[in-house]
Each structure stands twice: as structure tokens, then as C-alpha cells.
């Protein structure tokens, strides 16, 4: 009796393992998945990917003050001063995803107001 239940258990275990393996192979080789990955890569190639955190948007004098204040409070983090007429922007960091940018926002918002995550483009 013990052997019968053991073999039954072994058969079920192997059956589930083989079925699970074949289901994973079908998912990974799906044309829909491949097409979705190709579209994502094309989008990233054209528009870039990742995020920066914008800590200031406004006039040049205040932008430069914000940039210097940031460099003093957070040394070693990438900073960028941008001008798009008529406003100046201070963007900081290079983050792979929104979650990383949101963590940085929590840290930076202790020293700066109106901090937002900006998706990177070209």
C-alpha cells in the first residue's frame, strides 16, 4: 500500500513538472511576447528610457541657486541645468525606473519643493 501511494505521488509530481516546463516554453516562444519585446526595444531606442528628478523650474538666478544648493546637499549625484525659453530647469540623477526616481524624490523633497520625476527622452 505504501509503495502504491508513493508511486502515485511520484507520477503526479513528474506530470506536473513536465506540464509546467512545457507551459513555460510555450510562453517564452510566443510570437506575441517576441513582438512586444521588439516594440519596447524600438521605443527605448527612439525615445530613451529611465527617469531624472526635476528639482526646479523657473528663472535663471533661482535655477543656479537650486543647482548649487543641491550639489552641496547631495554631492556626487549627476546634475543638469536645462534652458527651454523662457524657463530654466534643474534635473538630477539618472534612474532606471520610476520606483528608483520616487525613492530619490522622497529624499530630495526634504530640501526642495515641487520635486517631480521626468521620463527621459532623446
Tell me the mean pLDDT in the region 60-81: 96
Q: Which helix (H) or strand (E) holds 93?
A: strand 87-95
What is the percentage of the chain residues whose pLDDT exceeds 90? Answer: 57
pLDDT band at 20 (very low <50, low <70, confident <90, very high): low
- Residues 75-103 pLDDT 10s: 999 999 999 999 999 999 999 999 999 99
pLDDT band at 39 (very low <50, low <70, confident <90, very high): confident
Name the CATH superfamily, with its identifier, for domain 51-119: Sporulation related repeat (3.30.70.1070)
Q: What does the block give as the cell for 94?
A: 539618472
Residue 52 and residue 92 in contact, taking contact as beta carbons nearer than 8 Å? yes
In this prediction, residue 41 carries a pLDDT of 81
118 vs 122: CA distance, rounded Å: 12
65 vs 74: CA distance, rounded Å: 14
DSSP secondary structure code for residue 110 in this structure: T
In this prediction, residue 9 carries a pLDDT of 66
Domain chopping of the chain, boundaries:
2-47, 51-119
Is residue 105 reached through a cis peptide bond, with omega within 30 degrees of 0 on the bond before it? Answer: no
Handedness of CA 63, 65, 68, 74 (dihedral sign): negative
Amino acid at each position: 500500500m505504501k509503495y502504491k501511494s508513493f508511486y502515485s505521488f511520484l507520477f503526479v509530481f513528474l506530470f506536473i513538472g513536465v506540464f509546467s516546463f512545457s507551459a513555460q516554453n510555450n510562453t517564452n516562444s510566443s510570437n506575441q511576447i517576441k513582438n512586444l519585446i521588439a516594440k519596447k526595444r524600438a521605443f527605448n531606442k527612439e525615445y530613451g528610457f529611465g527617469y531624472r528628478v526635476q528639482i526646479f523650474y523657473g528663472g535663471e538666478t533661482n535655477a543656479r541657486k537650486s543647482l548649487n544648493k543641491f550639489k552641496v546637499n547631495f554631492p556626487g549625484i549627476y546634475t543638469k541645468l536645462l534652458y527651454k525659453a523662457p524657463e530654466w530647469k534643474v534635473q538630477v540623477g539618472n534612474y532606471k525606473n520610476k520606483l528608483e526616481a520616487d525613492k530619490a524624490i522622497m529624499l530630495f523633497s526634504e530640501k526642495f519643493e515641487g520635486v517631480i520625476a521626468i521620463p527621459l527622452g532623446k
